[in-house]
Amino acid sequence: MLDPGVVLADEPVASLDPKISADVLRLLKDQAKLRGATVLCSLHQIDLARAFSDRIIALSGGRVVFDGPPDQLSTEHLGRIYGDIALSDAPASPAHAQPEPVS
């Protein structure tokens, strides 16, 4: 029980800040590699999925619209997944995002 072959991680970083999110995903990836385990991780943060995954499977409307390596996930694929949103305006990484001023 202490050395699973598969780890299911459902939105493990959904409410965490960018640095802690990266730390958690790095820990998951490193431990999986060390133990020879597979991590199946559900993420909505595109930049984190690209940075930490070996393979991305993207769904829209219950159908697979992309299945491949992170570097092949294009803006066109993202448009099919998320619809008409301005992806080019989104920051490349939450670590590079500018904080909003507090009023």
pTM of the predicted protein model: 0.72
Whole-number pLDDT of residue 1: 58
Tell whether 46 is covered by a domain.
yes
The domain boundary, picked from 9, 26, 53, lies at 53
Is 48 found in the same domain as 2?
A: yes
Whole-number pLDDT of residue 94: 44
Burial class, 18, CB count within 10 angstroms (exposed 0-12 / middle 13-18 / buried 19+): middle
Tell whether 72 is covered by a domain.
yes
The one-character DSSP state at 62 is T
The enclosing H or E element of 27 equals helix 18-35
Q: How many helices (H) and strands (E) are present in the chain, helices listed first?
A: 3, 4
Question: pLDDT tens digits for 34-85?
Answer: 999 999 999 989 999 999 999 999 988 889 989 999 999 988 888 888 876 6
The residue count of the chain comes to: 103
The predicted model gives 18-47 an average pLDDT of: 93
The predicted model gives 14-42 an average pLDDT of: 94
